[in-house]
Amino acid sequence: MYIKSLLIFSLLLLVFSCTNAEVLIKEYDIVIDNLDKEVSEFTYTLVISGNGIVNIPLPEGSSINAYYKDTFETIEYTIQNNSLSFAVNLQNTIRTIVIKNFVVNPVVSKNSEKIISFNHLIEEEVGKLDVILKLPINSIVSDAGDESLIFPEPTHMLSDGKRIISNWERENFKGEFELFVTYKVGSSLDYNYILYISIFFVLIIAGLIIFFVSKTKCRVEKVISVGLSKEEKEVYDFIKTKDQISQKEVLNSLKYSKPRLSKLIRKLEEKELINKKPQGRTNILSLKKI
């Protein structure tokens, strides 16, 4: 009888402990994007396990899409007083939940500046919190004198070549996370258009360089031609058709005697127009680089 009562008590204790297991949020990522659109996007990604109810505060005017990342299975939730609630029953399983939150006009305009503020209460401690803010293209963070109007100071601030991306990292975080950023949006230039224009000008400059180099080379060729006799020019033009050519091949191709050709080659060499390199019983001829 005693043993039976002990078993029943142990079973009830086990059921009680399972039904009251806590939710464990290992990672909590928040990405704020599309601030230049009529509807901005706040994406919450939770790596979670355990059993219980999860509460997530939402900005006013939210439209929600919640699902498990691996299966895209929709999560049932309720919204009350700008707070989203849903139940998880994962026990020792770890899963990733994505909550897409679409918010109408969260940005406040003040003169030429834009202001985005974000408050988020995290009721249960999370292992790692990562908040990422992506400013619109061609935006810069405003400053008041020497002080940047971004609070708190980001863990990292970088650029992808088009816009500024700031992120705040926290370990074992519980409580209210708050950020405030004032920024300015410059002229909405199309970066692809700028790239195409840059490539166009580079091609124009390259074409002009090639044109002037070719023109200069032609002028040099004309100067060379003026300073040569008819026979010297014939030998020079024949050598010019090849990268390298043997003196024997020139002799076989042109109607000159061996002594006469040797004299013409010697004159071209003295005028520093050709190179002559001995090779066996003949010479290898080539033009000197201008």
CATH number of 138's domain? 2.60.40.1730
Domain shared by 140 and 194, yes or no: no
pLDDT score for 216: 58
pLDDT score for 194: 65
pLDDT score for 19: 40
Tell me how long the chain is. Answer: 290
pLDDT score for 217: 58
pLDDT, tens digit, 9 for 90 and up, residues 39-97: 999 999 999 999 999 999 988 778 899 999 999 999 999 998 889 999 999 878 999 99
Q: Identify the domain containing residue 197 by its residue range.
A: 190-226
Domain shared by 169 and 28, yes or no: yes
Neighbours of 269 (CB within 10 A): 15
pLDDT score for 20: 41
Low-confidence residues of the chain, pLDDT below 50?
2, 4-20
Measured CA to CA, the distance from residue 180 to residue 194 in angstroms comes to 32
pLDDT, tens digit, 9 for 90 and up, residues 211-230: 776 665 555 555 565 578 88
Domain shared by 10 and 86, yes or no: yes
Domain shared by 23 and 167, yes or no: yes
Domain shared by 110 and 217, yes or no: no
Total structural domains within the chain = 3
Domain shared by 129 and 94, yes or no: yes
pTM of structure: 0.59
Measured CA to CA, the distance from residue 168 to residue 129 in angstroms comes to 8
Domain shared by 160 and 255, yes or no: no
Domain shared by 222 and 238, yes or no: no
pLDDT score for 18: 40
Domain shared by 217 and 234, yes or no: no
Domain harbouring 275, CATH code: 1.10.10.10
Q: Which of 187, 215, 237 is the last residue of a domain?
A: 187
Measured CA to CA, the distance from residue 176 to residue 168 in angstroms comes to 13
pLDDT score for 175: 94
- Coil, strand or helix: which one is 269? helix
Contacts 24+ apart (CB under 8 A), 140-144: 140/164, 140/183, 140/184, 140/186, 141/181, 141/182, 141/183, 142/113, 142/182, 142/183, 142/184
Strand partners, 67: 74, 98
User: Which of 100, 103, 73, 104 is closest to 88 using CA atoms?
Assistant: 73
